[in-house]
A = this chain, B = another copy of it.
Amino acid sequence: MLEWINRYEDRAWQTTTDGTVRYALIGLGWWTLDVALPAIESSDLGEVGVLVSSSHEKAERLAREHGVDAGVDYDEFHEGAASEAYDAVYVGTPNAFHLEYAETAARLDKAVLCEKPMEATVERAERLVETCESAGVPLMIAYRMHTEPAVQRARELISDGFLGEPVSVYGHNSQPLLEMIPDPDQWRLDPDRAGYGTSVMDLGIYSINTARYLLRREPRSVRSTMASEHEAFSDVPDQSASSLFLLEGDVEMVTMSSQHAQDDTHLKITGTEGQIDLRPAFHGECSLRLSRGDVSVTVEHGSFDAEREMREEFDYFADRLLGDGEIYPDGRHGLRDMAIIEAVHESAETGEEVDIDGI
């Protein structure tokens, strides 16, 4: 037990501790600057070489403020400016711009770490994957739950049979978006920049992807309902959304997401013999509750806030570039999430059950 408690420092996925990956950060919103950038700076295998933003002045100013060597604007990036200063790009722009930066990165032979969801539509996500595959550059989708220690412990326990047979999954991700970002014109509410919608693309994807990661079972069909009542959500269908999935092996999964509700993140997997409960699940400080029969154990990693989760993710990505491990959340993995999200929207639109094809 003592070994199990201490073990996370081992990073079971780690293959190397040598080398450095230098990043160009693209899309300088609060997440990139306040979470991703300090995460890279404190990581073992990463450093920030270039900041890329809408204007040269802004990029240079932010580079100076954050101690980064170079700042370039989007046009300069596409022209290959400062390309000697980075080995990989981190794409943190609104969803609908991921493809263009990945295309340039691939042309410049740079590895790509792309935020989730991959792009605005399945079609554009497919182009993104194919672009990286054709160019032979590594592509990873930034699912930070995969390197979250509570989630990794859950994954290991599930592999070891902790649940017995899995029976059902419940995923919930809600937040009061307009209180967090009080701007009705923000990109998450604009389908041209966000894609299919807002709450499933931005929040529901955590439940879907973490369940896939933990159970290694893919959703095979979905029935969904969505609603947008607040005027700020008039252009997107899913201010809130609920879905009923069937996963491989007839595991039932229900998920709920809302951009206009009390904050809550929760993933619960119930099996014939045990239950695994992550709550909070998706926003840092993930707490893991394990129940089997009448015994319950709670595990908390107090130090894992969102920044440290990102640090783990960047070191995992760098490890894959520098060492010899495979990238688990690769482009094909992320593409399947896009197909699942498209099916969720199609079901809500048609009222019908939608089969989810393998991609």
Contact = CB atoms under 8 A, between A and B. Distances in A.
Contact of A272 (B172, B176, B294): B176
A227 interface: yes
A197 to B, nearest CB: 15
A331 to B, nearest CB: 31
Interface centre among A227, A254, A260 (most CB of B within 10 A): A254
A292 to B, nearest CB: 7
6 contacts: A167-B240, A168-B242, A172-B270, A223-B244, A242-B254, A258-B270
Nearest to A163: B262
Interface in A147-172: 163-165, 167-168, 170, 172
Interface of A: 163-165, 167-168, 170, 172, 174, 176, 223-225, 227, 229, 240-244, 246, 250, 252-256, 258, 260-264, 268, 270-275, 291-294, 351, 353
Given A242-B244, A351-B353, A353-B351, A256 B168 contact: yes
A176 B294 CA distance: 11
Contacts of A256: 168, 170, 252, 254, 270
Contacts of A250: 227, 229
Nearest to A229: B250
A243 B242 contact: no
A156 B318 CA distance: 53
Contacts of A258: 167-168, 270
A131 B261 CA distance: 45
Given A243-B244, A244-B254, A174 B167 contact: yes
Contacts of A246: 225
